[in-house]
Every structure is written in structure tokens, then in C-alpha cells.
Amino acid sequence: MNKVSRISPVEDVGMAPLVFDVLHDDATAPGLEELIEDVVIAISEHMGAIERRFTRGDMDGLRKSASDLAELAEQVGFLLLAGVAEDLVLLTARNDKAALAAVVCRVIRVGDASLAAAIDGELAPIAPNEG
């Protein structure tokens, strides 16, 4: 009998096609690198707030941080991250700690993958049926 000792999910992140096209076309535009850096920092801060507030059991703060992250992620074209953060907003109204823990972990996993891809310049547009 085989046992699964560890599951290592990998998220297939990407960027909204319109945002991807704008960034790709303006790759040498002045200030673009600083803009990406600012977005990476802001998303990282929201993810950190989500982890802290979840750990403390601060559901109101968690809902606010997740909502802010969803809005920012949608603005910059990280549609998967925005969707998972929106799922977290909805879950904060329930008292399902297991579901909350799972979605917080997924927000962090998707956020980390999105940020790594943005920093490494490895983002690709999301196919229309994936976003």
C-alpha cells in the first residue's frame, strides 16, 4: 500500500491578457520597474497582514486585508490571486476554521507564485477561460 506523505501543490499563475500586453509593450517605459516594485511590496504587505490577522483570529481585519488584496490583485491583473482573496473574504463570515486555514494557505501560495513570476519576468497572459 502506497502512502502520500506530502502534497506540494503548484499554482499556475498568470496575468490578465490586457495588463500583460500593456506591460510587454511598455517594457522599457520609464518608471515601470519602480511600479512593479511598488506592487510587489504592497501585495507582500497585504499577504503578511492576512497571515497575522488569521493567526490572531481577527476576522474583521482578515476580511479587510483580503478585500484590499483582492482589489489590488485585480487592478494589476493577477486574476487568480484576486479570486482566491475574494474567496477568503466570503469565508470570513463563516466559522469554518479548517476552510479558512486552507484558503489562507492558498492565498499565500498563489501570492508567492505571482510575485515570484512578476519579479523574474516570467508572467504569461491567462487564457480567457482560466481567469
Host H or E run for residue 7: none
The matching CATH number, chosen from 1.25.40, 3.40.630, 1.20.120, 1.10.1060, for 17-22+30-120 is 1.20.120
Spans of all domains in the chain: 17-22+30-120
Structure-block grid coordinates of residue 13: 499563475
Interatomic CA distance for residues 63 and 68, integer angstroms: 9
Sign, Cα dihedral of 8, 19, 44, 100: negative
pTM (2 d.p.) = 0.77
Q: Each residue of 27-45: b (16+ CB within 10 Å) or e?
A: eeeeeeeeebeebbeebee
pLDDT in tens, 18-73: 554 555 555 556 666 677 778 889 999 999 999 999 999 999 999 999 999 999 99
